[in-house]
């Protein structure tokens, strides 16, 4: 139950609703400790496709998404064994996009990582148990944008307050469906570069001419040599030509599609990481457990000796919960930038 303090001293529900995945957690906002967690593969894009297939009109999108959120809150309550009705629900990611519950304007750069620049809205009467949704928006540089990754970075900043304090610019790499390279200076996001690395890998390995030449089934350690071969090829051969080369490897050289899976990964990640600024710029690699080994191996192959901090995957698993706990104290206290 809510303790009447709006969740600041009690608990909150933290929801990270990305393009491809949905994560909901019962969180102690003071330390960001996760009490209970649920994860599904039903991100905003997935659910929007499902809405269309069900014939639900776009104007009913918010109600449809809130019904899904309601169902996940019930499941979280059952899993935790606690009555979470009425607790504040802090939601970040694509839920504030045009495909989400309600589109919100982006916060501009520079964006302070202490959370004071976050743009958010209070949404009442949308959940069956009476909890209020505190919807967080994203950040735009004018030429690029993100939703959700800035919240992860706020969490990392809470764990690593020296981030971006080296003097001059640092770069934070956040791998994912849409990998983000965030330029950081004096505790602020000052620039954003987005790479469709994860989405392109998914499309190429499941559709089109490469789908029969690439398949899962080989652990990264077993496929590391092929991965590093792909990283090297990312600088030796134009990308569009190198991509068809994967088909040629399979047909002409009988390369196992499971090996090609790692070669394709190395080719795309290598192409992304070659775009990093000069080797003297401090780089923070913030990868979850699923991509940590790949990005670290590619970084070490492409930029040996580069000043770099590899943020532990365990930190990234907690970063969003830590940020939501911190931001709940700001937004529930009336701080940051609230929109109507």
CATH number at residue 293: 3.30.420.310
pLDDT mean values, one per 10 residues, the chain (340 residues): 46 93 93 92 95 96 96 95 92 96 97 95 91 96 96 93 78 94 94 96 95 96 98 96 97 97 98 90 91 96 92 90 93 83
Task: Specify whether 34 is located in the same domain as 127.
Answer: yes
Q: Confirm whether 184 is domain-assigned.
A: no
Whether 218 and 106 map to the same domain: the answer is no
80 is a domain residue: yes
Pair (26, 144) in one structural domain: yes
Instruction: Tell me: do 147 and 208 sit in the same domain.
Output: no
pLDDT at position 129 is: 82
Tokens 């987005």 locate to 194
Using CA atoms, how far residue 338 sits from 48, 228, 234, 330, in Å, is 26, 47, 44, 11
User: Helix, strand, or coil here: 94?
Assistant: helix
Tell whether 17 is covered by a domain: yes
Please state, in angstroms and as integers, the Cα–Cα distance from residue 48 to each residue in 43, 60, 68, 229, following that order.
9, 11, 12, 38
pLDDT digits (tens, 9 = 90+) for 298-335: 999 999 988 899 999 888 888 999 999 999 999 988 88
Residues 90 and 205 in one domain: no
Q: In this structure, is the dihedral angle defined by the CA atoms of residues 273, 276, 278 and 279, taken in order, positive or negative?
A: negative
Residue 34 maps to a domain? yes
Query: What letters, b where the CB count within 10 A reaches 16 and e where it falls short, cover 214-241?
Result: beeebebeebbebbbbbbebbeeeeeee
Question: What pLDDT shows up at residue 226?
Answer: 98
Residues 224 and 260 both lie in one domain:
yes
Number of domains the chain is built from: 2
Asked whether residue 283 falls in the same domain as residue 321, the answer is no
What is the domain range of residue 330? 12-160+315-338
Tell me which residue of 226, 246, 235, 236 sits closest to 294, measured CA to CA.
226
CATH code of the domain containing 79: 3.30.420.300
- Do the bridges between strand 107-108 and strand 139-140 make them parallel or antiparallel, or are there none, so unpaired? parallel
At 6 the pLDDT is: 44
Assigned domain for 226 exists: yes
Same-domain pairing of 125 and 22: yes
Q: What angle do CA 270, 200, 234 make, to 5 degrees?
A: 20
Residues 17 and 156 placed together within one structural domain of the fold: yes
Assess if residue 187 is contained within a domain.
no
How many Cβ atoms sit within 10 Å of the Cβ of residue 33? Answer: 15
d(CA 197, CA 234): 13
Q: Which residues, including other chains, have CB under 8 Å from residue 47's CB and lie 6 or more apart?
A: 64, 65, 68
Q: Tell me if 325 is assigned to some domain.
A: yes
Please give the pLDDT value at position 5: 41
In a shared domain, residues 90 and 219? no
Q: Quick one: 133 and 228 in the same domain?
A: no
Tell whether 177 is covered by a domain: no
Query: Residue 166's pLDDT is what?
Result: 67
Are 241 and 322 found together in one domain?
Answer: no
């Amino acid at each position: 139950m809510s303790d009447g303090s709006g969740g600041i001293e009690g608990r909150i529900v933290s929801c990270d609703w990305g393009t491809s995945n949905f994560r909901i957690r019962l969180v102690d906002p003071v330390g960001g400790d996760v009490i209970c967690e649920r994860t599904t593969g039903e991100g905003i894009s997935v659910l929007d496709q499902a809405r269309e297939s069900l014939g639900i009109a776009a104007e009913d999108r918010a109600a449809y998404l809130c019904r899904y959120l309601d169902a996940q809150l019930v499941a979280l309550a059952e899993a935790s064994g606690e009555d979470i009705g009425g607790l504040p629900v802090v939601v970040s990611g694509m839920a504030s996009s045009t495909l989400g519950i309600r589109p919100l304007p982006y916060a501009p750069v520079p964006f302070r990582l202490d959370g004071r620049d976050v743009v958010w809205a209070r949404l009442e009467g949308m959940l069956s148990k009476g909890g209020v949704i505190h919807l967080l928006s994203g950040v735009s540089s004018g030429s690029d944008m993100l939703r959700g990754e800035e919240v992860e970075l706020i969490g990392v900043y809470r764990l690593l307050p020296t981030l971006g304090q080296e003097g001059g610019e640092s770069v934070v790499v956040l791998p994912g469906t849409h990998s983000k390279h965030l330029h950081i200076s004096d505790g602020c996001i000052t620039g954003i570069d987005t790479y469709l690395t994860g989405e392109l890998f998914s499309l190429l390995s499941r559709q089109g001419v490469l789908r029969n030449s690439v398949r899962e089934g080989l652990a990264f350690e077993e496929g590391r040599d092929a991965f590093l071969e792909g990283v090297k090829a990312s600088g030796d051969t134009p990308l569009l030509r190198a991509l068809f080369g994967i088909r040629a490897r399979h047909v002409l050289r009988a390369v196992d599609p499971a090996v090609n899976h790692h070669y394709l990964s190395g080719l795309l990640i290598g192409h992304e990481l070659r775009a990093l600024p000069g080797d003297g710029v401090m780089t923070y690699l913030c990868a979850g457990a699923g991509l940590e080994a790949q990005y670290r191996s590619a970084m070490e192959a492409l930029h040996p000796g580069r000043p770099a901090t590899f943020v532990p995957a365990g930190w990234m698993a907690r970063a969003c919960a830590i940020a939501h706990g911190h931001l709940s104290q700001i937004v529930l206290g009336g701080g940051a930038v609230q929109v109507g």
